[in-house]
Amino acid sequence: MRFAIGDTDFLLDGEPHRILSGAIHYFRVHPDLWADRIRKAKLMGLNTIETYVAWNAHAPSPGVFDLSGGLDLGRFLDLVAAEGMHAIVRPGPYICAEWTNGGLPYWLFADGTVGVRRDEPQFLAAVQGYLEQLAPVLVPRQIDHGGPIVLVQVENEYGAYGSDPVYLTKLEQLHRDIGLTVPFTSVDQPMGTMLEDGSLPSLHKTGSFGSRSAARLERLRQAQPTGPLMCSEFWDGWFDSWGEHHHTTPAEASASDLDDLLAAGGSVNIYMFHGGTNFGFTNGANDKGVYRPISTSYDYDAPLDEAGRPTPKFHAFRSVIERYAPVPPLPASMEPGGSGRLESYDHSSDREARVAPATDLAVRLDRVASLRSLLPTLTTWSAHDEPPTFDALGAASGFVLYRADVDLPTGGVLTVGEEVRDRAIVSADGTVVGVLEREHHDRAIALPPVTGTLELLVEDQGRVDYGPRIGEPKGLVGGVSIDGVPLARWTASPIALDPVPEAALAALLATGPTDGEVLAGPTFAAGSFDLAEPDDRYLCLDGFRKGVAWVNGFCLGRYWSRGPQQTLAIPGPVLREGRNELVVLELHASASRTACLLLEPDLGHTEA
């Protein structure tokens, strides 16, 4: 088959074709659930699936390129093809996506000499290597090779960042050099000169917007007089940041804007069809003067919720789409009020044999071990004249523990030279003194009298994914001084937590049950629970303050009592029939040692 861009339409084997696409990021969805989510997109009336490719997920360190398990992009695309659907692939290299570092590997910028999103030899050489690794996955899966891929996007909203046609031309050529032959696109907001600055004549311009469709398409047509109109990111919701509200948009309003877009003859990619989750330490952040880390949930108020169930937006969008294209019949389970399950992708052993309906489940965390007690199994120490960055230590994310010996008989004021990135728990001889937070521009803290060890446990809360601060290092940036005198002779170690090393996990689980309710952090706590049938659940840690959680070794991501989200999604395939293990790292304190596995999520308060 052939796919082309005509004067007015996309052309599939020479015939006009409208793209009705939905975004599913394979790296935000458990791989056992990919087929379920893709089938549900088809049931809403979509004919195409779009995904970014997260370079840093595949290349967590130099010389590594992982295409296995949840990163098996080829399998994801094959599942799209198996449903008779097409695919749009957006390999970046920059993707934004509210994903850590906008998808760019942290190690690329570790020495500070590599350019970011510009015509710089080291950057382009690294991009070339990345695309060459993707070639065996993408090239044979193009539509003219019998595969599902019909479009490939070059860069991502570049017009909001820069205006460098030389960079874009070289980047486009790198994509062609690996054997990509399908049409290439760009995407930008139809505002100012972004459409012109972010594209080339050889790239088909598309827009990104979520409202005022007619006006946005008119601006797109001004920038591109011929060719099919397309919104490559029809924003049907929005992402959440810690400390803010949960964003929602009325289904009726979004459906009306979608109707306007399709009535104008446009093609669309609904961003997101299914948002998924920022598992582990993968969330991004924004910093436009104030640092704001993205939450773990990427529900996005999408047509499918975080657990893959249809929302009112699913049905509202389906009603719009069926005015313009045929839609398959809905199984009863997908109708309003249904379970939202598809029998062919139901991972339980025998749902018909369920003795009793599932209920919320309390889990007692009765095994406790302080972070300090487990450090021998979590750390690899090195000596430094000044605090090294995460990047210099080879740490993409998570935590780094810094130590220095001090003699302060009358105390003093500790000051970080440039910035704390992103949050530091400061301790003196094992006693927590306070917290320094990038979000509040904290750089200084008063220390009590101490002769002994000063410790700063620094958390990367998410690398900036948008704007000029992409690629910046993490840690105690700019050195540390006490009363104006630089503090030298440090030891530092990353703390390996994704996954938790087996030795640390074994030591924690081997501790005997303990009584009491209070947890004093930083500390690990673990508990076991039994399930008759594994199913999607939501972890509620009411009373806990801030930390990270794992189920059966799978890192669910970060929790934080400030919200908005109050639960963490647990994909059904992570759970087991019978005995399961929950592990929590609480950084501060909890008045409770009981967690709950809920059947419904709590994503927090919405804007009034």
Residues marked active site are found at 157, 233
User: Residue 254 corresponds to which tokens in the numbers above?
Assistant: 């979004």
Grouping H, G, I as helix, E, B as strand and the rest as coil, residue 574 is helix
Grouping H, G, I as helix, E, B as strand and the rest as coil, residue 184 is strand
Indicate the DSSP class of residue 501.
P
| The amino acid at 539 | L
Residues 6 or more apart whose Cβ sits within 8 Å of residue 468: none
CB–CB of 230/217 below 8 Å? no
DSSP string, 346-411: --SS-GGG-SS----EEEE--EEEEHHHHHHHH---EEESSPPPTGGGT--SEEEEEEEEEEETT-
Q: How far is CA 160 from CA 93, 135, 196, 441, 467, in A?
A: 15, 28, 10, 26, 8
CB–CB of 47/85 below 8 Å? yes
* Rounded Cα–Cα distance for residues 33 and 593 (Å): 31
Q: How far is CA 486 from CA 2, 295, 456, 482, 605, in A?
A: 65, 35, 16, 6, 44
Q: Phi and psi of 524, rounded to 5°?
A: -95, 145
Indicate the DSSP class of residue 422.
S
Q: How far is CA 308 from CA 98, 276, 337, 601, in A?
A: 20, 8, 14, 12
* Rounded Cα–Cα distance for residues 481 and 95 (Å): 37
Q: Phi and psi of 239, rounded to 5°?
A: -85, 165
Grouping H, G, I as helix, E, B as strand and the rest as coil, residue 231 is strand
Kindly give the pairing relationship between strand 567-570 and strand 537-540. Answer: antiparallel
Kindly give the pairing relationship between strand 10-12 and strand 3-5. Answer: antiparallel
